[in-house]
């Protein structure tokens, strides 16, 4: 049977919320907009008093500064706090330096976690790109292109939690002597006369089964982006290649693929970031059991189950160090693509 994770119901005491937190609520609803309006009007007056040569260079910073402030408050400050917290013990009293990282990386269980993350990094982006590119090329040639693309993109419109719940029914296992209600096992038993498989519990299949859920959800996204890049290739260039005697395979390999490569790289690096941040599917389907744990879910377990803020912070820093280089590379590739347009 599939492992079901029950999330606690959210109960809100509205009377307490409105009485105890009323000043805070009023400040957020009324005060914050007033502060922003005052900031914009005040600084606009100050900018107008500057020399006219300086106004064009100063004015954009007036509008960008609040966004930079909130990004720093919401992202940069917690990031620095997490890095600092990872250097202390679980109680936050004693400085241990890199001790938390050494302990995590020498833990026997972390090898399975790193292996699973490596599987996600290798298979998830590659399969998403493969299916996305294939569907982008094929859907470009069908008569009802828009409805077909809408159907393929539909899984991307739902959350990964919902995807996992849907695929629980697909992977559902029942003993061999009873009718199978899980779609895959029903096909396996009724059409191929095989034995039902415990897709989620069997360590030979479960990681691949979880990765496929993510691939199913993200393929539509990759298809849409790659299809837009495909349509950006001049039709005259393709026609000229056909006139010169090039077949479709040669055109795809020598013309279409090189011209689409910057977009493919951007989509691929984005999928790498998604793979490193994978959490929802593993949490809902297995909660990290059956040798399916990954870094993000292990971090959640250390924080909320074990109450070990030091280990959780160390895992968060490891994820950060893995994501940031890919993110920087992705931004550079995106700028390169925009510069070519």
Structure confidence at residue 17 (pLDDT)? 52
Q: How many helices (H) and strands (E) does the chain have?
A: 17, 0
Structure confidence at residue 65 (pLDDT)? 86
Q: Is 298 helix (H, G, I), strand (E, B) or coil?
A: helix
Residues near 80 by Cβ (< 8 Å), separated by ≥ 6? none
* CA dihedral sign of residues 196, 283, 296, 310: negative
The pLDDT tens digits of the residues spanning 265-313 come to: 889 988 998 998 889 999 999 999 999 999 999 999 999 988 889 999 9
Rounded Cα distance between 310 and 305, Å, is 13
Q: Which residue has the tokens 């096909």?
A: 187
Structure confidence at residue 7 (pLDDT)? 47
Rounded Cα distance between 216 and 207, Å, is 14
CA distances from 44 to 51, 57, 60, 62, 111 (A): 13, 13, 11, 8, 56
Task: State the distance between the two ends of the chain, measured CA to CA, in whole angstroms.
Answer: 52
Can you read off the two tokens belonging to residue 330?
A: 């992705």
Rounded Cα distance between 221 and 149, Å, is 10
- Residue spans of alpha helices (H) in 89-205: 99-105, 108-139, 145-153, 160-170, 183-190
Q: Which of 329, 119, 128 is nearest to 224 (CA)?
A: 128
* Cβ atoms of 171 and 3 closer than 8 Å: no
Rounded Cα distance between 18 and 24, Å, is 10
Q: Which stretches of the chain score pLDDT less than 70?
A: 1-22, 337, 340-341
Structure confidence at residue 163 (pLDDT)? 92
The pLDDT tens digits of the residues spanning 41-78 come to: 888 888 888 888 888 888 888 888 888 888 898 989 99
Rounded Cα distance between 167 and 183, Å, is 9
Angle at 16 between CA 12 and CA 20, to 5 degrees: 130
CATH code, 107-340: 1.10.3720.10
Q: pTM for the full model?
A: 0.81
Structure confidence at residue 340 (pLDDT)? 67
Measured from the Cβ of residue 5, the count of other Cβ atoms closer than 10 Å reads: 12
Q: Which residue has the tokens 């993110």?
A: 327
Structure confidence at residue 12 (pLDDT)? 52
- Residue spans of alpha helices (H) in 205-308: 206-231, 235-243, 248-251, 257-276, 280-285, 295-300
Rounded Cα distance between 263 and 69, Å, is 31
Rounded Cα distance between 291 and 108, Å, is 12
């Amino acid at each position: 049977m599939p492992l079901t994770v029950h999330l606690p119901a959210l109960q809100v005491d509205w009377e307490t919320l409105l009485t105890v937190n009323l000043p805070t609520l009023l400040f957020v609803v009324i005060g914050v907009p007033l502060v922003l309006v005052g900031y914009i009007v005040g600084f606009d007056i100050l900018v107008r008093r500057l020399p006219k040569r300086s106004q064009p260079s100063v004015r954009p910073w007036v509008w960008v500064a609040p966004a930079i402030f909130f990004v720093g408050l919401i992202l940069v400050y917690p990031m620095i706090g997490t890095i600092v917290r990872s250097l202390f013990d679980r109680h936050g009293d004693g400085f241990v330096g890199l001790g938390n990282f050494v302990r995590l990386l020498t833990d026997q269980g972390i090898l399975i976690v790193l292996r699973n993350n490596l599987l996600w990094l290798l298979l998830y982006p590659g399969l998403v790109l493969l299916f996305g590119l294939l569907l982008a090329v094929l859907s470009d040639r069908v008569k009802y292109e828009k409805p077909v693309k809408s159907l393929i993109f539909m899984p991307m419109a739902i959350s990964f939690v919902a995807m996992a719940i849907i695929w629980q029914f697909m992977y559902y296992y029942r003993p061999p002597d009873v009718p199978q209600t899980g779609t895959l096992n029903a096909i396996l038993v009724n059409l191929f006369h095989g034995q039902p498989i415990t897709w989620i519990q069997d360590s030979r299949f479960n990681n691949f089964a979880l990765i496929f859920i993510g691939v199913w959800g993200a393929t539509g996204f990759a298809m849409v982006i790659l299809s837009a890049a495909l349509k950006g290739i001049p039709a005259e260039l393709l026609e000229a290649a056909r006139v010169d005697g090039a077949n479709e395979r040669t055109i795809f390999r020598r013309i279409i693929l090189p011209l689409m490569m910057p977009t493919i790289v951007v989509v691929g690096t984005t999928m790498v970031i998604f793979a490193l941040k994978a959490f929802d599917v593993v949490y809902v389907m297995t909660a990290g059991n059956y040798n399916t744990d990954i870094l993000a879910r292990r971090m959640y377990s250390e924080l909320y189950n074990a109450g070990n803020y030091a280990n959780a912070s160390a895992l968060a820093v490891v994820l950060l160090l893995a994501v940031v280089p890919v993110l920087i590379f992705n931004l550079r590739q995106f700028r390169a693509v925009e510069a070519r347009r």
